[in-house]
Amino acid sequence: MWSFSRDQTLRSCERKYYFQYLSHAYLNSPDPWLRQIALLKKVKNMPMWQGECVHEAIAEFLTQIQGGRQVPFESLALALQQRMVRDWTFSEKRQFREEPGSVGRSGVALFEHEYNEVPPETQIADLVNEAREMLGSFYRWAQAHPSFLADFKTAKRRWIEPPPWGDGAPGFAVGDVQAVTKVDLALHLADGQFRIYDWKTGKRPATEKGGASNSTQISIYMLWPHLVMNFPLGKVGSSLVYLGEAQAQEVSFHLDEELALETKQIIRSSVEQAQRWENYAKSGRLKIENIDFADSVNECRKCNYKSVCRAALTRRVIP
């Protein structure tokens, strides 16, 4: 299984990649070190968690519209608040340490609680307000784009936060490997076009270079309808919608032959690299003590795995 986020993890730190994908760590592993890794795999930082909650609220809004129901903003915002307060309470009490198996169902495991790094003055009410602002940004954007709602309602087929795995999950094969494309929303429109949306709960990057990774990600997503459902490239479009400001910023993308070729090449070389790591792991030649640390100390400071990894670093490396 390959995904863009897997590729990004390997680019950020080989050790992190090992912990996340190759360690075979389970909550019921007999080895306490592996059990700790399994728990840390579930940890998210506050912005990631806020983003996940906003995505869930947007999916609920779209699901209700799909069912022919109108959803007032306030009821969406209330559900968002209730979920966030529940998650926060679970995490603040460190319940995830006692009940790691219920993370996701009963609450969240926040990095800031796991490492006692909650910034001073942090209030759950402020975090809820920030998420509510992002949801409001989406809601206003949707109302200001009646064509989006019309396209959504009349679409021949809709995928709203589809599960990334299982039959019919978005993605395509690269040799023996399945590439997963975790789209937020995809529409097969009534006019025969195919459109993919990705909600970004941050600000639009100020430079093209800053947004390069987002544009690679959405290009990969656009290959799914082209390769699996045979949509011509000219009929596939996508939008990144940035919700980190009061007025959402939408950036649209299309794939031409050249960009599609380039994107396939990026995927192929990333898959080959992942397979090399997989083979090292299978052959038993991969030992954590032989894997490099991240280039940047800052990467370690914000890393989920620092409690199982940093012990091996000296103060000379991390002051």
Smaller CB distance to ligand SF4: residue 268 or 310?
A: 310
Kindly state the DSSP code that residue 164 receives in the 8-state scheme. S
- Given 35, 235, 268, 310, the residue binding ligand SF4 (CB under 6 A): 310
Collect all residues with Cβ–Cβ distance below 8 Å to 269 and sequence separation of at least 6. none
State the DSSP H helix or E strand holding residue 174, giving kind and residue range, or none if neither. strand 171-174
CA dist., res. 32 & res. 42, Å (int): 16
Contact string 184-213 vs ligand SF4 (x = CB under 6 A)? ------------------------------
Considering the rule CB under 6 A, would residue 43 count as an interface residue with ligand SF4? no
Token match 């599960």: residue?
Answer: 163
- Given 180, 183, 196, 303, the residue binding ligand SF4 (CB under 6 A): 303
* Binding residues with ligand SF4: total (CB under 6 A): 13
Considering the rule CB under 6 A, would residue 37 count as an interface residue with ligand SF4? no
Smaller CB distance to ligand SF4: residue 87 or 114?
A: 114
Smaller CB distance to ligand SF4: residue 140 or 310?
A: 310
Collect all residues with Cβ–Cβ distance below 8 Å to 8 and sequence separation of at least 6. 213
Cβ of residue 117: shortest distance to ligand SF4, in angstroms? 14
Positions 278 through 297 that interact with ligand SF4 (CB under 6 A): 293-294
Considering the rule CB under 6 A, would residue 309 count as an interface residue with ligand SF4? yes
Considering the rule CB under 6 A, would residue 307 count as an interface residue with ligand SF4? no
**3-state SS of the chain: helix, strand, coil percent to 5?**
55, 15, 35
- Given 92, 112, 278, 299, the residue binding ligand SF4 (CB under 6 A): 299
Taking the alpha carbons at both ends of the chain, their separation in whole angstroms is 37
Positions 106 through 125 that interact with ligand SF4 (CB under 6 A): none
Considering the rule CB under 6 A, would residue 13 count as an interface residue with ligand SF4? yes
| Residue/partner pairs of 108-113 with CB below 8 Å, 24 or more apart | 108/44, 108/49, 109/39, 109/42, 109/43, 109/44, 110/43, 110/44, 110/45, 110/46, 110/49, 111/43, 111/44, 111/45, 111/46, 111/302, 111/304, 112/45, 112/46
Per CB under 6 A, residues contacting ligand SF4 are: 13, 15-16, 19, 293-294, 299-300, 303, 305-306, 309-310
